[in-house]
């Protein structure tokens, strides 16, 4: 009978600068070789052992060696991690390797790095306290005072970085605690536009930038995040069921979503040119180009002023869409699925277990009845 051989390969640590593997291999009957190694900044740290017994005994030894190795790695990191900027870089490498870092969050951490990256970890709390007081009292570029959500942002980002250091065993306590820097209360934002106001926005777009009208009209009727649509490809449109599918990798909350297509937008989606790979596009220079988020945001800043709504952000259209669906009698559990909320209340999560497709179908049926 052939000798049983079982090999397990996995990443011991998950940052790009730390490449390693762990291996458990049966080299003879009831004899196992256990190896755990990691490479950090060109240096290989390795632990190995031979175990006699069952596979579970070898795996227990593997865990023991990995914990020992992690302690060695922590000591190495403690000696080289001096500034808050290095701590941010360590966290960003980890988050990118895990696929848990969006472009918007990366830009926020880059900003924090520019502001506070030079501060030593040992003296961070005193410098941060002084900087944070100046930051909160300094008005924005347009002269307005910062909102609570804006004031909370650097505290939340710094707390995330230090929590990561705690998880890796580099520090024992987070200096950014809730008592020293209490979270400021954020008032929910209520955004509504009347039918005449939204038509005014549409008219301004038709006059100035007609190529963005489809994406703006869709966002004002179906709750979406901007990047879900600017990155959408034509194949995400299900022409048979008249739905738009947002895959997991394009979702902020890592949830696959299904968006309904209301009647007024059906003609647009079904007439996207065959040569165009995008769901929303701009045709110029003889070819179809993707609507990027930076370009769309720049255009929107002009549109909102010309339309008479200087404080209306493009994300506010998501609020408008949700408000309109609620006014039309769409059940909240359906809106939850369409919008991609991870939670609204424990009642909804407990009693309403439906698929994203079902939520989209039900919404279209209700809208058809309202229009009839």
Q: What is the pLDDT of residue 193?
A: 84
What tokens were used for 222?
Answer: 């179906």
- At residue 119, the pLDDT reads 92
Domain ranges of the chain: 18-71, 84-167, 195-371
The pLDDT, as a whole number, for residue 101 is 74
| pLDDT at residue number 343 | 63
Hey, what are 156's tokens? 């939340």
8 Å CB contact between 348 and 339: no
Flag whether the pTM goes above 0.75.
no
Distance (Å, whole) CA 298 – CA 294? 6
CB count in 10 Å sphere of residue 59: 16
Taking alpha carbons only, the member of 41, 14, 131 closest to residue 84 is: 131
Model pLDDT, residue 361: 82
According to DSSP H, which parts of the chain are helical? 55-80, 84-98, 103-116, 124-137, 148-167, 195-208, 213-221, 226-230, 263-270, 293-307, 316-327, 332-339, 346-351, 356-371
Chunked in runs of 10, what are the mean pLDDT values of the chain (372 residues)? Answer: 33 37 72 72 63 83 74 55 90 80 81 93 90 88 79 92 86 84 76 87 96 95 91 93 89 84 93 94 92 91 93 88 85 85 55 67 80 72
Joined tokens for residue 352: 């309403």
Residue 12, pLDDT score: 35
pLDDT score, position 71:
58
pLDDT of residue 41: 42
Given the candidates 2.60.120.380, 3.30.420.40, 3.90.1150.10, 1.10.443.10, the CATH classification of the domain at 195-371 is 1.10.443.10
The torsion defined by the Cα of 148, 151, 156 and 159, in degrees rounded to 10, comes to -130
């Amino acid at each position: 009978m052939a000798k049983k051989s079982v090999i397990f390969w996995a990443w011991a640590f998950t940052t790009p600068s730390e490449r390693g593997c762990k291996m458990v291999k049966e080299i003879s009957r009831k004899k196992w070789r256990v190896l755990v190694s990691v490479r950090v900044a060109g240096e290989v740290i390795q632990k190995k052992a031979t175990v006699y017994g069952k596979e579970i005994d070898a795996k227990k030894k593997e865990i023991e060696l990995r914990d020992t190795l992690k302690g060695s790695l922590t000591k190495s990191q403690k000696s080289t991690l001096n500034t808050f900027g290095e701590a941010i870089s360590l966290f960003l490498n980890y988050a990118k390797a895990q696929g848990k870092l969006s472009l918007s969050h990366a830009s926020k951490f880059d900003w924090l790095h520019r502001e506070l990256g030079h501060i030593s970890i040992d003296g961070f709390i005193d410098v941060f306290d002084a900087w944070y007081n100046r930051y909160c009292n300094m008005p924005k570029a347009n002269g307005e005072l910062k909102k609570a959500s804006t004031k909370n942002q650097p505290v939340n980002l710094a707390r995330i970085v230090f929590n990561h250091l705690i998880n890796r065993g580099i520090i024992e306590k987070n200096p950014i605690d809730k008592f020293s820097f209490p979270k400021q209360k954020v008032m929910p934002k209520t955004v509504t536009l009347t039918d005449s106001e939204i038509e005014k926005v549409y008219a301004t777009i038709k006059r100035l930038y007609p190529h963005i009208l489809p994406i703006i009209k869709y966002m004002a009727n179906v709750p979406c995040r901007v990047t879900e649509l600017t990155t959408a490809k034509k194949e995400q449109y299900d022409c048979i069921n008249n739905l738009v599918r947002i895959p997991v990798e394009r979702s902020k909350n890592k949830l696959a979503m299904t968006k309904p297509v209301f009647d007024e937008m059906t003609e647009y989606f079904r007439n996207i040119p065959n040569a165009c790979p995008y769901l929303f596009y701009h045709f110029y220079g003889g070819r179809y180009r993707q609507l990027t988020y930076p370009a769309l945001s720049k255009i929107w800043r002009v549109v909102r002023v010309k339309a008479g709504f200087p404080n209306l952000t493009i994300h506010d259209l998501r609020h408008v869409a949700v408000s309109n669906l609620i006014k039309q009698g769409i059940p909240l559990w359906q809106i939850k699925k369409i919008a991609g909320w991870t939670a609204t209340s424990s009642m909804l999560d407990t009693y309403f277990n439906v698929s994203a497709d079902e939520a989209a179908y039900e919404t279209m049926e209700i809208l058809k009845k309202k229009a009839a």
